[in-house]
Amino acid sequence: MNFDIKRVLHRELNVGLKEQKLRYGVGSALLVGSIFFFPIPLLLAGIVLVATGFTRWCPVYSGMSKSTVDPNEPPPAECCGHGHPGH
């Protein structure tokens, strides 16, 4: 397995919708768990999982040229989806 540091800088969608939901769930659980157990490590892991779920981009996946995006899932919305003038 090769890790290409140059690919990490290219921000491309590489987290699929199913994994996004998983990252939200596990990240939220870690954030709540950080209140009771090992606050700093759980807090950091929770923040990273929620952030990568929100952006649907994981720098580690980019470096490994990995993607969990299903080709059949709808493309992400560019904005709020209301079709603003000039777009």
Give the pLDDT confidence score for residue 11 in this predicted structure.
Answer: 80
Whether 74 shows a pLDDT value over 70: the answer reads yes
pLDDT bucket at 43, cuts 50 / 70 / 90: very high
What is the C-alpha separation between 54 and 82, in angstroms, rounded?
Answer: 20
Q: What is the mean pLDDT of residues 64-74?
A: 87
